[in-house]
Chain A
Amino acid sequence: MTTEVGSETEVKKDSEQVGQDKAKGKPEEASETPGNDKSRKASSEETQDSPVPAPTSPSSPSSQKKEKDSSESKGISRFLPPWLKKQKSYTLAEPKDEAKKRATGEEQIAEEGESHPSEGVAQPKRSLETVAENNAKGDDKEEKHSVSSAETQPAKEDGKEIEVEKVTEEKEEKEKRETKEVQTAESIPQKPPKKIKTVQCKVVLLDGTEYSCDLEKRAKGQILFDKVCEHLNLLEKDYFGLLFYENSDQKNWLDSSKEIKRQIRSLPWLFTFNVKFYPPDPSQLTEDITRYFLCLQLRQDIASGRLPCSFVTHTLLGSYTLQAEMGDHDPEEHRSDYISEFQFAPNQTQEMEEKVAELHKTHRGLTPAQADSQFLENAKRLSMYGVDLHHAKDSEGVDIMLGVCANGLLIYKDRLRINRFAWPKILKISYKRSNFYIKVRPAELEQFESTIGFKLPNHRAAKRLWKVCVEHHTFFRLLSPEQPPKSKFLTLGSKFRYSGRTQAQTRQASNLIDRPAPYFERSSSKRVSRSLDGAPMSISDQSLLRDFHTTRGQPGGDKIIDLEAAGQAKLKEGGIEDDGSPLKTPQLELIQDGKDLDKTQDDLLKHQASISELKRNFMESTPEPRPNEWEKRRITPLSLQTQGKKGDHIFQVKTLPGKEKQWTAMPSIAGTKPEETDRKHASRAEGSCTEVSNADKSSHETLDIVEEKKQAEVGIEETLVIDETNKGKIQVATDAGETCKVEHLTKKDSSSLPSDSSSSSSSESEDEEVGEYQPHHRAVEEVIREEQEEEEDVKRKEHEEKIQHVEATPEGSQLTVPAEHTQVAAEDLVQENTTTIPAEEKNLSEEIKQDLYEEKEEEQLKLNGDVSHVDIDVSPQIICCSEPPVVKTEMVTISDATQRTEISTKEVPIVQTETKTITYESPQFDGSAAGSAGVLLSAQTITSESISTTTTTHITKMVKGGVSETRIEKRIVITGDADIDHDEALAQAIKEAKEQHPDMSVTRVVVHKETELAEEDED
């Protein structure tokens, strides 16, 4: 928290400073001042300083709400631009509050995410920050304050979402507090206690000149970007971005919404201003100056060989360049060799220059702007125009290139296009370690989607590619940016989303540009181009950067680690850092806007089909011995019912490997009224990443969260590339027992010492191992299937690599971890139905799971399932609580609950097992009332966390056969280094849970221990 607070402060300062700077520098442009939000908008300026690109409208609701919430929040806050409010509130956020906030945080987030799918405008910039851990609160806060309070509000509005009043209250309190804070901040605007540290920052512009400025150390990318654009007098700036290079050949886009420092780490503050999104039709750009910069970029691209052209095209484009930069050909002035000072092509020949000169003569009379336009008209038709290439290997290890462009993803082998996936065809984009996956809509006659995997050189490359895809999809296909992933619950992975304006938005904004065409000087492209060597087409040309690198001689590597380590520490403290942390929510959904609806619409409708249908389909698609899988995935989120879909909500939880040292304890507490709902294995072993997707989108409820930030970076090597998983039915067969699997992953990238875990994980902080993005989020079915497929595939294969199960004894007695592998990654898959009830305890939350499946089957699967599976010596621990917690509930009917199995649990002796598996379940689980469907009254999930533990509580209240039953399921994740006594922590957690619910019984304890070096980890 400390960290966070600090950074926030900084941010605030920044924005203020920026505002001031701008005001000073450009008095005319009053609109640019942060305070003047409206005018800004009107002028179509980007309000990029703030994470909130949002229109003013959102701010009003928020302020209203605040007022309502607390008397304290009045006046000024209302007039503050949302970002200011937010920042301030952050600044003042008290650690104490955190806890409470945390408790509610996740839920809120979940709600926000789902309830406002349409609120594209508001872009929580911080999505990444929240990242791992259940630091959701941080995110929460931001979101609330930022952009629009709408997020919070909707949640409340949803009567269907069963919110416990307590929760609501808490929220409100929080809000009050926040508002207050805001005010305070207001009154003392320049309060920033710290002295401002500035850093000199250099940006290489497209004309080869260098722009430098001083930036506050904590400045976000947006600030720098805005400064550069202002310097360039560029209004249509959404097509552009700032690049920084690592290793001199890996280019990264500076994320505007995050602190620069966190992104570049130890790299020099050196950037290049580049075109990020190549407009497919440059003639639609509003201003000539924008086209000019695009031309400069393309000239670089062409001269460097990145954008291949034929000889003829080289000469033609070269001639337009000459016309634009030198004007009409003048035989007197232009000697025969004038042309050779320019570089038009990677390999320029005398012959080419002669032809360029000849053509130049034919352009007489064209103005520079016209010449640029002609240049662009020709350049845009080049097949590689706007294609961002990435090296990869296909499933067979063949070198290929993946090209991301406005229309989708192109696959090249050498120079041949061997496949193409238009955005509408892509259901999901994800990465996991160094693998990049796309899930593709089934072809006309095909029944199933397929997942295609590619192997990237390393996981950073995979993440980079993924981000580029997310950004391109959003920019070119959506009307407005998508909200960041909703719940942080079960998901791990990157929450990254494109936060800028989309092409549609920027075009709209451009239409409002009302200024005389700015004068600008066209500098000769000689300078720039000459320095460029013809680089192979796929490689970005970084000659410029290299120079810088060398000059500055920054050996990035070592330092990075340090930084990361530091970051990690912060994370532990509860602070949320954007980049670095491994994100828990890898699941990105691609939302297709109206544009996309063409094909998608149908699909969506289909998806909305009844669950039973889905189920059937699912079964068909996964013909294997794990019919339960489907069931498991089905969750009946109570709150979802609001959406009119009764009872059929599907949650998917997926855990991906990559956790390090993590203890997950899952004591389930079941209220014993009628019958106990069944439970599923909370941790289904596999995974470091958990993903929960709510099929419906309506509301999300997630159950567990086991991810740690550490997880984030695990350089786990996965050798397999999954190809068309759907078709591989085979896999399924093998999969049956997956529930208990723990994958052992070998980590190559990162140091794998347990002690290092923090640092190593942090080192990759920027690179989450997993990320997912789904273009069509409403398609429940798709989501689900995808998950499954991926899981299966991945699991299976990984699984085979090595699986290690770690067992822990319930009650925190002892955790035995057989650790032979350097690294053990446990994947936790939890798919359960859950509901949540507000928990009063910060650290403990109760989780209630309701499984739709039948326990028996499941268990059987486990037992008989995979060979690779470590067997399950499950010693179930069951705690019965006779008194169900009181939860305020709403009546919800679940139509499809028939499949649910109830398990009654009684006290079960706690048994210690040495199995590698972490799941303890009471044998009695299968019991009782299988097949009886209940009426779900309410469900709630609460998450809270303390330094070393994260607790998620799910409370479900059901009525079955006239008897009401409340189940509370609590998941406690204890994370920490070896120095933490996990057993004790676990015991403590259980104890606390018991105190809370005296009558409860612990039915199951699942412990995952994940360490990099198992040996060392053993306590």
Chain B
Amino acid sequence: MGRGRAAGGALSAARAGGGGSRAEPGRSDPPASPRSMAGLGGGPAAFGRCTHAVVRALPESLCRQALRSTPGPEVDFARAEREHQLYVGVLRGKLGLQVLELPADESLPDCVFVEDAAVVCEETALLTRPGAPSRRKEVEAMKRVLESLNLNMVEMVDENATLDGGDVLFTGREFFVGLSKRTNQRGAEILADTFKDYAVSTVPVHDSLHLKSFCSMAGPNLIAIGSSEAAQKALKTMQQMSDHRYDKLTVPDDAAANCIYLNIPSKGHVLLHRAPEEYPESAKVFEKLKDHMLIPIANTELEKVDGSLTCCSVLINKTSEL
């Protein structure tokens, strides 16, 4: 639930214009070698592959009780539900994923934001310990559904650890974990222990709820990043920490930088991004991605409670039945 609030939506004209350009020449890794099984993600080529998605219905309690970083207009539940159904519909219908939908739990107002409850990478799932105590129970349902998928399960039992999935950015090569109000060092350590193959770097997150409140992956080597100062600073940090050079896609609005990239065999690069009605300038930037199949999705209601696109699903690539 990287329920990111647009931290300012500062529009820098220049950036907006250049958003589509990949500022940094990326050098691509040697093609991944064929492998019969997942492990190390199969290299960049496999990034974004996805077979299953876990989502959860939203409870009515969300409107009044969901955590929110800033007071604001009340969530229009009906509209929120419609938007969410559209979202799920795209995943299931348009993209052909097997969607596992958990029922809403009224006692868990934030339960729709499933992303925070688990981090799944390849065949391994880390059940988190969300930073907000009121959300810890959300993990239980998540655990059940992931177990059904026969993933390697790791639970975060350390009481000193907190981790929200919204703070975890997996690039296909490494992890970045935002150290925020919801995620602490210990949580990041456990994540590093869980996914030993990958470098796990920490990124301080101050002005927004989650790391992914202002960034996400928009392609195998492409980081979508907001224009706010905080976002740019975080990007710099990530660039410094990484041995790899990523391309970046800078969008004017931080909230719009949270998008969902998928690599669907029959469709190629697919990108779910915020609708032009919400963030027109940012949408224009996405529209410059010629290789992507673009699917605009509105998320106006959940955004009021810090929800963003990635928050509402856990994507899983189930490649083996081992």
Residues of chain A having any CB pair with chain B under 8 Å: 281, 283, 308-313, 315-317, 355, 358-359, 362-363, 373-374, 377-378, 381-383, 407, 413-420, 422, 443-444
Contact = CB atoms under 8 A, between A and B. Distances in A.
15 contacts: A315-B39, A317-B39, A355-B322, A374-B35, A381-B40, A383-B174, A383-B197, A407-B243, A413-B185, A415-B200, A416-B177, A418-B202, A420-B201, A420-B240, A420-B243
Contacts of B240: 419-420
Given A383-B199, A417-B202, A378 B192 contact: no
Given A312-B152, A416-B202, A420-B242, A359 B36 contact: yes
A310 B196 contact: yes
A308 B200 CA distance: 13
Contact of A378 (B35, B241, B322): B35
Contact of A281 (B30, B124, B201): B30
Nearest to B189: A414
Contacts of B124: 310-312
B38 interface: yes
A440 to B, nearest CB: 10
A283 B31 CA distance: 12
Contact of B198 (A316, A363, A383): A383
Contacts of A377: 33
Contacts of B152: 311-312
Interface string B19-45: 000000000001001011111100100
Interface of B: 30, 33, 35-40, 43, 122-124, 152, 173-174, 177, 185, 188-189, 192-202, 236, 240-243, 322
A281 B188 CA distance: 29
Nearest to B177: A416
A418 B201 contact: yes
B242 A381 contact: no
B199 A312 contact: no
B200 A374 contact: no
Contact of A362 (B36, B194, B242): B36
Given A358-B322, A381-B43, A417-B200, A312 B192 contact: no
- Most chain B Cβ neighbours within 10 Å, of A313, A355, A362: A313
Task: Name the 10 nearest CB pairs between A and B, nearest first.
Answer: A383-B199, A415-B192, A308-B196, A417-B201, A316-B39, A377-B33, A313-B39, A312-B39, A362-B36, A381-B40
Nearest to B194: A310
Given A374-B35, A382-B196, 17 more contacts: A310-B39, A312-B37, A312-B38, A316-B35, A355-B322, A378-B33, A378-B35, A381-B40, A382-B40, A415-B192, A415-B196, A416-B185, A416-B201, A417-B241, A418-B202, A420-B241, A444-B236
A343 B258 CA distance: 43
A377 B29 CA distance: 12
A316 B197 contact: no
Contacts of B35: 316, 374, 378
A313 B40 contact: yes
B241 to A, nearest CB: 5
A362 B124 CA distance: 21
Contacts of B188: 416
Nearest to B123: A312
A416 B37 contact: no
A197 to B, nearest CB: 48
B241 A419 contact: yes
Nearest to A415: B192
Nearest to B200: A416
Given A316-B35, A374-B35, A309 B196 contact: yes
B306 to A, nearest CB: 25
Contacts of A381: 40, 43, 173, 197
B192 A283 contact: no
A410 B202 CA distance: 13
A881 to B, nearest CB: 57
A301 to B, nearest CB: 13
B61 to A, nearest CB: 36
A309 B199 contact: no
A407 B199 CA distance: 14
Contacts of B43: 381
Given A310-B124, A310-B195, A378 B189 contact: no
Nearest to A376: B33
Given A311-B152, A415-B189, A416-B185, A363 B202 contact: no
A188 to B, nearest CB: 56
A420 B174 CA distance: 14
Contact of A416 (B38, B192, B236): B192
Given A414-B189, A416-B188, A363 B37 contact: no
Contacts of B185: 413-414, 416
A359 B37 CA distance: 8
A382 B199 CA distance: 8
A535 to B, nearest CB: 15
A487 to B, nearest CB: 35
Contact of B192 (A362, A414, A420): A414
Nearest to B202: A416
A794 B173 CA distance: 39
A310 B40 CA distance: 9
A450 to B, nearest CB: 13
Contacts of A308: 196-197
Most buried by B among A373, A381, A382: A381
A378 B39 contact: yes
A381 B200 CA distance: 13
A362 B322 CA distance: 13
A899 to B, nearest CB: 39
A539 to B, nearest CB: 16
A303 B138 CA distance: 37
A415 to B, nearest CB: 4
A420 B200 CA distance: 12
Contacts of A422: 243
B253 to A, nearest CB: 24
Contacts of B199: 383, 417
B7 to A, nearest CB: 20
Contact of A363 (B36, B193, B201): B36
Contact of B33 (A374, A383, A415): A374
B284 to A, nearest CB: 27
Contact of B197 (A313, A414, A416, A418): A313
Contacts of B198: 383
Contacts of B202: 416-418
Contacts of B38: 312
A382 to B, nearest CB: 5
- Which of B30, B40, B242 has the most chain A CB atoms inside 10 A of its CB? B40
Contacts of B197: 308-310, 312-313, 381-383
A374 B177 CA distance: 30
A313 B122 CA distance: 11
Contacts of B200: 383, 415-417
A283 B240 CA distance: 27
Contacts of A407: 243
Nearest to A537: B196
A313, A415, A420, most chain B CB atoms within 10 A: A415
Contacts of B242: 420
B193 A415 contact: yes
